[in-house]
Amino acid sequence: MDKFIKLPLPQRMELITQTAAKMDMSPAAIEKDFWVCWMLRRLFQSPLKDSIIFKGGTSLSKVYGYIKRFSEDIDLILNWNEFSADTEWNPGARYGNSGRAKMLKALDEWNAQQIAESILPVVQACCGNICSAALSPKSAEIIIITYPKTCVASYIRPEILLEIGPKAAWNPHAEHIVRPYMAELYPRLFHSADVCVTVTTAERAFWEKITILHAQVKRNSALPSRYARHYYDTIMMARHPELKSRAFADMKLLYLVAAFKHNFYRAGWADYPNAVPGSMHLIPTERILSELEADYENMKREMLPADAPDFSIIMQELVQLEQEINQLTPLPLDIRNYPTMEP
């Protein structure tokens, strides 16, 4: 991939624009996709490789191909076993409300310290003199990677947000290969462009998305920005019958996901104990529907292919998916007492 970086600017632009035209994506998306893959390669060849797992929407497009949304940022799970070794806490254990609050506070503080003192220097070394890396002024969990951009877009940020945290389950996971879109079309130029990453399974990602949507139904505050992607991702995954069948067959995994979120991301409005068949809710309320639609239209212009479904179709298929999930047989278990998944 470094061969591409060394090309003169006109040649780089030509490859980017040609790939964008052939893949029906914006040039800015193609360019950022390259830098996301380049950064993943550096990270999973660095001393961090045994302590991190790749997750999130970018993994759904780059690893599994279940969605056509381009690679935007990098979400990494940091192994919390190192936190347990450094402190008296065990995130996989159950605590009372007071103990749980203290454990989560200690976990956040440990994570911020790890990122600032141990992880950031490694990421900066990965960047070399090609990119730059700095802590986000808005979040202790985010490192901002600035790459030498040549394309400009309004919705696509000209930087990669590297979000790192231990509050996500380590299992199940597997090793997979990712490569830049340009490498798929111009393999000779991108010799050895394959990147081996450790990533959470698609089945877990499916239930993660489902529970994200369920949690928003009763939200009593404004949605976070750029949230429409979760609704698009969910429907794109559900359109793959083999994935949906595997996820539906693994009801234990849904319960583990919901229990994990109830333990680590508890909020009264999230209602994770009812994120199970028979009481699952995916359809957004009228209060946030127009907000979601506007966000989706912005995303559609630059992040999605021309054949991306209309927002109304997303909502129609979401109704069907909610019905399918609620017709499944629930387990005779209470999410509030169900164990979270050990990393």
- Residue 75 sits in the same domain as residue 179: yes
The answer to whether the CB of 4 falls within 8 A of the CB of 15 is yes
Q: Which residues contact 227 (CB under 8 A, 6 or more apart)?
A: 216, 292, 295
The reply to whether 179 and 315 lie within a common domain is no
Of 14-18, 218-222, 285-289, 303-307, where does the model show the most confidence?
14-18
Any domain includes 211:
yes
Full domain range(s) for residue 229: 202-337
pLDDT digits (tens, 9 = 90+) for 194-230: 989 999 999 999 999 999 999 999 887 888 888 999 9
Across the chain, mean pLDDT equals 91
Question: Residue 162: phi, psi to the nearest 5?
Answer: -95, 100
Measured CA to CA, the distance from residue 180 to residue 178 in angstroms comes to 7
Q: Using one digit for the tens of pLDDT, what is the confidence trace for 121-166? A: 999 999 999 999 999 999 999 999 999 988 877 768 889 999 999 9
Based on the fold, state whether residues 174 and 255 are members of the same structural domain. no
Whether the per-residue pLDDT at 271 is higher than 70: the answer is: yes
DSSP string for residues in 145-195: EE-------SSS-SEEEEEEES-S---SEEEEEE--HHHHH-TTTTTT--E
* 342 falls within a domain: no
Residue 272 shares a structural domain with residue 315: yes
**Tens digits of per-residue pLDDT, 9-68?**
999 999 999 999 998 888 998 999 999 999 999 999 999 999 999 998 889 888 998 988
Supply the pTM of this predicted model.
Answer: 0.87
Domain's final residue, options 176, 200, 224: 200
CA atoms within 13 Å, Cβ hemisphere of 221: 6
Residues 62 and 170 in one domain: yes
pLDDT band at 72 (very low <50, low <70, confident <90, very high): confident
In a shared domain, residues 148 and 172: yes
Q: What is the pLDDT of residue 275?
A: 97
Token pair 């394309």: residue:
151
Q: Do 161 and 23 lie in a common domain?
A: yes
